[in-house]
Amino acid sequence: MTGTVTNFSYGAVTPIAAYLMATVGSALGLRCTTRSLRRPHHRGRWLALGSISFGCGIWAMHFTAMIGFDIEGVAVRYDRDQVFVSLAVVIVCVAAGMFLAGYRGRSAVILTLAGIITGNGVVTMQGLGMSAIKIDGSLHYDGTIVILTFVFTLVITTVALWGAVSIHALWSSMGASLIMGVAVTGMHYIGMTALTIRLNGHTTIDESTSNLGFLMVMLAGPLLVLLVATTIVMFDPDMLDAEGDVDWAAHAPRGSGSAHPVR
């Protein structure tokens, strides 16, 4: 028996909230990378903060969107350990991609490799997040849509990394973040169209089990990280410094560690 699935059980609330998570994560990743290039002596710290923020933003996007996921007449639960593993995986892979791009320059080869690493982390996170779902049945995917989603993910993560090392003006990076939010959230919902549910039998929802409550608790940590990272970036002295947002990196040798003098 095939289950009736919806990704919008709360209407437009979850897609909008998921988009905000992706946009905030993208914005923090871009701004932290800009700070890392301006301050080579603290490059590792800024890249680490950007990696964690971007990873948490993507992960929060996925599970915020999953709040709206529902199977008619079926109790949906999640394996807590797999949920945490998915968060660790995406942060590690995003960090690998961002550190590679941040230290090795903006060459096409480096950005493509970094994009592949990061994209695989995003896809693996989504796969682990979906495999964490526990129902009285099984999940099946359309292979063609999965492949298209994978390719799309590699492209948008590569573009995100290019933006991180190339776009330094404040308003340009904010605009890029809005576009990245659409792309990342769209990737999730496109991927979800590949899903079909096959139920083992008729299952009624256990009203004592709150899927919403579980996901909200799981999201609390990453949301706190995003809030702290936002505060750090907002109060950074260079944040609204017009001179600091000049694309000085365009005049630096590609792949070099040269940076604008720290004031």
Distance CA(19)–CA(4), nearest Å, equals 25
pLDDT tens, position by position, 212-245: 788 888 999 999 999 999 999 988 876 655 444 4
CA distances from 123 to 30, 198, 242 (A): 21, 23, 37
User: What is the pTM assigned to this prediction?
Assistant: 0.86
∠ CA 198-204-208, nearest 5°, is: 125
CA dihedral 179, 233, 217, 77 (to 10 degrees): 30
C-alpha pair distances (Å), 178 with each of 25, 49, 59, 147, 173: 10, 20, 17, 25, 9
3-state secondary structure of 222: helix
Structural domain boundaries of the chain? 8-68+77-250
Q: Which of 51, 10, 1 is closest to 29 using CA atoms?
A: 51
pLDDT at 202: 59
pLDDT tens digit sequence for 147-169:
999 999 999 999 988 888 888 78
